[in-house]
């Protein structure tokens, strides 16, 4: 079954060209799947919002369930890398959705790793949205920087920053293969990271009730959840496309930042060569499990018991 999106959202062509099922809101009602769709809200904090939309919708569209997507903006925040026309056309303000309830909320990463929370201009709004979501959303998925923000807001864990940026494809170990979210995961798998944020496993285990499902010797905790399945934390970027890390690396080179070559990414560690993608299957499975077990199954269970 398809995801439901706005008719002229650029991701429609992107997804259809990849033979991914997608339906627009204006399509004839006879085409609609006669089941209650899941409503997923995306708070997109990435600089290039269109690219991020394409990446996340590609993964969400892999579900057999119909999913209605809404995009959320930070009120009055002007994007430097996405046309204002796009934001105004496709994104809701918080006041537009604050009285609604959603099956899922996806909060993306953001290039804010070197800023203190108090230096983030929209930190008060992040705080307001995440606290609102606890009462209005079945399950919330945090990606990269959003993980750090949520750990601070909900668990009062201070910001941890690495001395050097973590960038590359790293090996991870599945700690609990019997958990619903890791169902079908291999014992070890690869996933992308691009962050300054640090997520030591001992801090999470000692100061929260969160269960770490996947960790890495190199990058720390990768995937962990709250006991009630409402909060899901992913410290990497499973949504990244083949060339996302390459584009970030070459961008930083042009800025004179002298970035480190992403680990385990370019063939022969040569940035002039095209990398191979090695994390697709994990990414699709992670999002599929989140939708199926942490959202759909939980909502069905709530309806049965209510």
Looking at 53, 144, 215, 282, which residue is catalytic?
144
- Mean pLDDT for the chain overall: 92
144 is annotated as an active-site residue: yes
Residues annotated within the binding site for substrate are 165, 194, 251
CA distance 49 to 90: 11
Residue 15's pLDDT band (cuts 50, 70, 90):
confident
pLDDT surpasses 70 at 304: no
In whole angstroms, what separates CA 126 from the centre of its chain? Answer: 15
Local confidence band at 33 (pLDDT 50, 70, 90 cut-offs)? very low
pLDDT for the residue 35 = 54
Q: At residue 34, does pLDDT exceed 60?
A: no
The predicted pLDDT at position 36 comes to 78
Helix (H) or strand (E) segment spanning residue 299: helix 297-305
Whether pLDDT at 19 is above 50: yes
What are the φ/ψ torsions at residue 92 (nearest 5 degrees)? -90, 150
Each domain of the chain, given as residue ranges in start order, spans 3-159+198-241+279-305
Residue 149, pLDDT > 70, answer yes
Pick from 268, 273, 219, 222: nearest CA to 246:
273
CATH 3.40.50.880 for domain 3-159+198-241+279-305, yes or no, is yes
Residue 6: predicted pLDDT: 84
Q: Where are the alpha helices (DSSP H) in the chain?
A: 11-17, 49-60, 84-90, 94-97, 123-136, 145-155, 201-207, 244-254, 280-289, 297-305
- Determine the pLDDT at residue 30: 46
Range 9-31 average pLDDT: 74
Which of 172, 193, 237, 282 is labelled catalytic?
A: 237
Q: Nearest to residue 110, comparing CAs of 101, 99, 98, 119?
A: 119
Q: Is 215 helix (H, G, I), strand (E, B) or coil?
A: strand
Supply the pLDDT for residue 29. Answer: 47
How far apart are the two ends of the chain, measured CA to CA in Å? Answer: 27
Measure CA 99 to chain center: 23
Question: Percentage of the chain surpassing pLDDT 70?
Answer: 93
Q: What is the DSSP letter of 295?
A: I
DSSP readout, 1-44? --EEE-TT-THHHHHHHTT--EEETTS-GGGS-SSPPEEEEEE-
pLDDT confidence band for 239 (50 / 70 / 90): very high
Name residue, tokens 């993980």. Answer: 147
Q: Which of 51, 193, 239, 282 is catalytic?
A: 239
pLDDT of residue 12: 86
How would residue 3 be classed by pLDDT, with cut points 50, 70 and 90?
confident
- Inform me whether the pLDDT recorded for 269 exceeds 60: yes
H or E stretch covering 69: strand 67-72
Instruction: Report the distance separating Cα 279 and Cα 287, nearest Å.
Output: 13
Q: pLDDT tens digit string along 56-114?
A: 999 999 988 899 999 999 987 778 878 999 999 999 999 999 999 999 999 999 999 99
pLDDT in tens, 165-197: 999 999 999 999 889 999 999 999 999 999 999
**Residues 229 and 299 sit within 8 Å (Cβ to Cβ):** no
**The pLDDT of residue 28:** 45
Rounded to an integer, the average pLDDT of 269-280 is 96
């Amino acid at each position: 079954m398809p995801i439901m999106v706005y008719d002229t959202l650029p991701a429609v062509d992107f997804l259809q060209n990849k033979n991914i099922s997608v339906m627009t809101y204006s399509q004839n009602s006879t085409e609609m799947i006669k089941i209650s769709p899941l409503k997923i809200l995306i708070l997109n904090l990435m600089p290039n919002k269109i690219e991020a939309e394409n990446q996340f919708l590609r993964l969400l569209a892999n579900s057999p369930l119909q999913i209605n997507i809404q995009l959320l903006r930070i009120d009055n925040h002007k994007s430097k890398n996405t046309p204002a026309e796009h934001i105004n056309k496709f994104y809701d303000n918080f006041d537009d959705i604050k009285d609604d309830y959603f099956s899922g909320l996806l909060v993306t990463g953001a290039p804010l790793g070197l800023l203190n929370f108090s230096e983030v201009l929209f930190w008060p709004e992040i705080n307001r949205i995440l606290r609102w979501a606890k009462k209005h959303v079945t399950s919330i998925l945090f990606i990269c920087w959003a993980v750090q923000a949520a750990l601070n807001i909900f668990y009062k864990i201070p910001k941890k920053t690495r001395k050097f940026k973590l960038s590359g494809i790293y090996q991870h170990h599945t700690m609990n293969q019997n958990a619903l979210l890791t169902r079908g995961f291999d014992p070890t798998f690869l996933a992308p990271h691009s962050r300054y944020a640090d997520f030591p496993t001992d801090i999470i285990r000692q100061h929260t009730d969160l269960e770490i499902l996947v960790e890495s010797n190199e990058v720390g905790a990768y995937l962990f959840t709250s006991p009630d399945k409402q909060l899901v934390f992913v410290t990497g970027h499973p949504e990244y496309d083949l060339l996302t890390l390459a584009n970030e690396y070459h961008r930083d080179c042009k800025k004179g930042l002298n970035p480190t070559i992403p680990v385990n990414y370019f063939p022969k560690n040569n940035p002039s060569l095209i990398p191979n993608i090695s994390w697709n299957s994990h990414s699709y499975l992670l999002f599929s499990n989140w939708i199926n077990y942490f959202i759909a199954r939980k909502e069905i269970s709530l309806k049965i018991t209510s």
